[in-house]
A and B are shown apart, each in its own frame.
Chain A
Amino acid sequence: MTTATAGRSWRRALRRDWQLYSLVVLPLLFFLVFRYLPMIGNVIAFRRFEPGGSLLGERWVGLRYVRMFLADPTFWQVFTNTLWLGTLILVFCFPVPIVLALLFNEFRGRALKRFVQSVSYLPHFLSIVIVAGITMQLLATDGPVNQALRAFGGEPVAFLQEPGWFRTVFVGSEIWQTAGWGTILYLAALTTIDEDLYEAARIDGANRWRQIWHVTLPGIRPTMITLLILNIGTFMAVGFEKVMLLYNPLTYPTADVISTYLYRTGVESNNFSYAAAIGLFEAVIGLILILSANQLSRRAVGTSLW
């Protein structure tokens, strides 16, 4: 198609559908200003930004800020913490919904099953602030967990002040909050599995376990992989808000992650350019991770997000 005809067909489309196009003006403006402009705004990672000055910084300083954070020992500490938390979340929080979904699926009482599912979704609907609050109350020195410890003759533990406990606490509360809700998509996938396959497996003499292994799991594999890719995409952003709520200077050694560190340097200490450089680094790694996970799964198992 030549440019002239392309231009004409656009004009025709605009004339015919102008009312439709008029509806996208505001939403499109939203995306451009509040999603894409900040992406461009990342140039302040390479420019010197002065508060009150231009949105895009005052002058080029090249890789100065990148070099700065690469030489910053705190950066490497929070980088390691991010990898740790991300990995633990992936290893522990990803499989739980699958196991739960299989469990729900094996269960026959319909009304009771629905009740249990409804209960398990509940934590998902609470504010992360409430979840953090509940976690802190449970683990407080006078909380039920420490009561139980004392009842078994143990010493009370200051879970929220010990760096050694932070990862456990974080992953535990994450499982509590997300596991039930995470089952929904798997349960949807389970309903699409053909009953005949189970029939055939039974005729071949497969017991319950073999049926799960050979029919159920392959049946939900596309869902598993899709969710895995999405999880890998958020790997670097690990529960930023919850870390913000649960951590304190005592637990920084294990709890401080890239996003909390950049919050403190950027918003609290006004080093916008430095923090933007860290943020850009984080976002780029995230993008690379999701692109390669997608590519890998397309090659290996033929399922991909796009």
Chain B
Amino acid sequence: MTGVVVVTLYPFLTIIARSFSSESRIRAGEVSLWPRGFDLTTYRIVLGDGMFWRNYGNTVLYTVVATAVAMALTTCYAYVLSKKELKGRGVLVGVAVFTMFFSGGLIPHYVLITSLGMKNTLWAVVIPNAISVFNLLVMKAFFESLPDELEEAAQIDGLSTYGILLRIVLPLSKAVIATMVLFYSVSFWNSWFSAFLYMDRTELMPVTVYLRNLIVGATGGTNAGASTEQLTQVASNIQSVTIVLTALPILCVYPFVQRYFVSGVMLGAVKG
């Protein structure tokens, strides 16, 4: 058990230690779990970089918009799929589930997004990932577990389908909605490949692509606040700092939200 904790946490602690250490001590191979030659220069450089903030802001924006769109589409479809007596329901389920096993592949997707003119727009990262079939099935299972009588009563009281969904079903589904919002927002926060693929301009990138460019050494990714000399000198330090800053929001909310994730996955597993 201790072994699991050590193996999982050790890499994090190392990165944190390296982010606070001076470059020369890292070079000398002295830094492992504890910062050596405590030094905040790198934090100052990264936090002083306009592009870093710009990309960080993009990540926030993309995550919010994408999660909103994804929730709207997923909720609507899942609600309809939960109506057992609906004609054509089997087909609608099949349409979604088949895509879990077979996909069009990278190139046709790329050609499609390009010819729809979505390149270099927010929509290229939002729309193509709008519905995760796994999340869809979890929501469907939850809606199915709600008692039918409630909706029937509401119907007799004269509520339309939209009214039932908005005023009866959604208020009863706060738990699953919260879970799905978390699932989607974490996955959008973490994603990098769509943006990498469909965006050519640095100022449109999310912070994950900024980090990716750092670790593959594609660019310095930086302009304000640092000379090139400073940059090359502290390159690996900058990576550690950027890793810490990019992971920070997740690490902060993680202790409070992880039980929702677990229950969400359980729900999907038991009922899906």
Contacts and interface: CB of A to CB of B under 8 A. Distances in A.
B87 A10 contact: yes
Nearest to A135: B11
B243 A37 contact: no
Interface in A245-301: 245, 248, 259, 262-263, 266-267, 272, 275-276, 279-280, 282-283, 286-287, 290
Interface stretch (B127-135, B170-178, B222-230): B127-135
B5 A116 contact: yes
Interface string A19-33: 111011011101101
Contact of A41 (B88, B92, B112): B112
A143 B270 CA distance: 43
Interface string A127-169: 1111011111110101110110010000000000000000000
Given A137-B14, A180-B4, A130 B211 contact: yes
A233 interface: yes
B77 A23 contact: yes
Contacts of B73: 26-27, 30
B90 interface: no
A75 interface: no
A127 B190 contact: yes
Nearest to A237: B103
The size class of the interface chain A forms with chain B is 35 or more
B239 A133 contact: yes
B266 A184 contact: yes
A176 B186 contact: no
Contacts of A146: 29
Contact of B262 (A10, A24, A39, A184): A184
B212 interface: yes
Given A121-B261, A146-B29, A276-B107, A287 B76 contact: no
A49 to B, nearest CB: 7
Contact of A38 (B77, B103, B261): B103
B202 interface: no
A248 B205 CA distance: 22
B11 A248 contact: no
Contacts of A282: 105
A137 B28 contact: no
B107 A130 contact: no
A122 interface: yes
Interface of B: 1, 4-5, 7-9, 11-12, 14-15, 18, 26-29, 31-32, 72-74, 76-77, 79-80, 83, 86-88, 92, 95-96, 99, 101-112, 115, 127-128, 130-131, 160-162, 165, 186, 189-193, 197, 208-209, 211-212, 214-216, 236, 239-240, 242-243, 246-247, 250, 254-255, 258, 261-262, 265-266, 269-270
5 contacts: A19-B160, A24-B76, A24-B80, A104-B1, A135-B11
Interface of A: 9-10, 13, 17, 19-21, 23-24, 26-28, 30-31, 33-42, 44, 49, 55, 100, 103-104, 107, 112-113, 115-116, 118-123, 125-130, 132-138, 140, 142-144, 146-147, 150, 176, 180, 184-185, 188, 233, 241, 244-245, 248, 259, 262-263, 266-267, 272, 275-276, 279-280, 282-283, 286-287, 290
